[in-house]
Structure 1
Amino acid sequence: MTTPKPHLFVFGPGYSASPVMARALENGWNVSASYRDDAKADALNAKGITAVPLDEAALQGALATCTHLLTSVAPGPHGDPVLPIIAQQAERLHALRWVGYLSSTNVYGNHDGGWVDENTPATPSLERGKRRVEAELSWGDFCERSDSTLHIFRLAGIYGPGRNAVRTVLDGRAKRIFKEGQLFSRIHVSDIEEAVWRAMNSGLTSRIFNLADDAPAPPQDIIEKAALALGKPVPAIIPLDEANLSPMARSFYEESKRVKNDRVKKDLSLSLRYPSFDSALNDLIAHETGAQP
């Protein structure tokens, strides 16, 4: 008797989840993902991913053989939008054994630049952080009822090809906004891919992983490094109080913390491909300019 292929279903097949889907396809998995518009469906199907509309009949067929479920959908004012869908299909999820939830380090709230790890209590100050905590708990309840493993990935600031300080400088959108003591942790999308792939194949019990690199840094320093490496003028410093930011952008400066990543290194034997922004800089420039690294 042959063992059925693993089947990964993804809710929210966007920037962070797409490399995981590609990795699963390369390894012979069946991969399906939700979509809301036809253009997205066409793009998914072109990659060999089965595009599934968000209606009950279509989901029923796709989720019946789902062994691994990954969601990157952020909760809204009314909670996590994926959970009610999953609840409707719960009786059909007979093959499900692993759930991955892409969360955020904003669940830790503000620590004035201090270090946090997975044992640090979740004390979010921002509304979206509070929603993340509620979603994590709700996914925990679901996985306990369904006897499936839950791995929560708390992501620091995500960057990578097409979404990085080099691209911002090249596009003329870079600002060096300064707030005393402000620090951000970051994580490259390829390290997210590697960590999630290892976790979903690990056999580890349910747990939380921080995904952040080794070098938290002030945001203005990252822009400066990108500009200097490109030979572009370094933007002038703008004090936060004088910066013309949207309420969403300004809210990121309300929290400052350094995020420890010891657990993902220990439990998943993960060596970060990009342990700092500096280590990724040449590859980012090569991608964004088409130059050889």
Structure 2
Amino acid sequence: MNYETCVANDGCTLAFQTSRPLSGSHGPDTPPIVLLMHGFSGSSEYFTRNFGPLSERLWVIAPDMRGHGRSSRTPGGYHVARLAADLRDLLAHIRRHTSVPIVPVGCSIGAAVLWTYVELFTASDFAGFVFVDQGPLQDRSVFGGGWDASRAHTGCYDEASLRAAQDLWVSDPPAAYADLVAGCLGYRQKVPSSAAAAEGGPLPPSPEQAAEDEAFFTRTSAQCDPVWLARLMADHTRYDHREAIDMIDVPTLVMAGRRSGCFPLEGMLETARRLNAVRPGLAKGEVFESGHWLFYEEPDKFNATTAAFVEGCSARAAGST
């Protein structure tokens, strides 16, 4: 993986990692692109356990969203819609070099960016979608049949909980980083049972590995401006993406962690349920035995499932042309 950059329409430099140089030769044997989109306060480095295996079968591109990783910091831009516009600029940059099918994998807020992209632009820019451990609405809501604690985010779901989260990120960033790690690593939620392990679920890591995990994710979050993140959080938690899901007309895979500390399974699987109600059979759900960062905790399953899905989407796209 190597870093390259492109420029957004407001001049912001957007960094991304790619397993193939965009300026290289891309013939008929060029594999489809899987576009790995990280979550809140993360970076493309989140996918350190996925780059190698996925690159054996796919062209992997992983952007750092504005305000994250190696991409530029801007005073504004703390809006999901701005991040969706950045994605459109990145996509235009990629399309100047290749026309292979692209399937984005949106993890956490990365999923919200994709839903917003669909609403503002079009789903047809992609051959399929993967949404990872994110519900279409973080806040609880009385609209749409009632969106309560059984579906909404477990920690940031109304004005009071948002304010508490913002205060923590602004006043005590190290505590916010620790809280993020505790909520996103599945083994910090529940100790996997012997039955889950027998079914292929991950075992708890050694104390040394657990400490390394926390240091890795904390170090990544610390690259961001915590005030900027707090403002992004306010925008993110208010978005209701449920109607945007109805606009998707390409194959969709929803991945959810059984031990996620962020959403109940019911909320995350709502995307597949809602899409199948509109277009039966277009979406499917896959439950992992880990947490919010399931791509990190169960990389083998994530890599194999993702590669097979992307290849299937690419074959479908080729067959429809």
**TM-score bin, normalised by smaller chain:** 0.3 to 0.5
Q: Which has the higher contact order (CA 8 A, sep 6+)?
A: 2
Q: TM-score, normalised by structure 2?
A: 0.34
Q: TM-score, normalised by structure 1?
A: 0.37
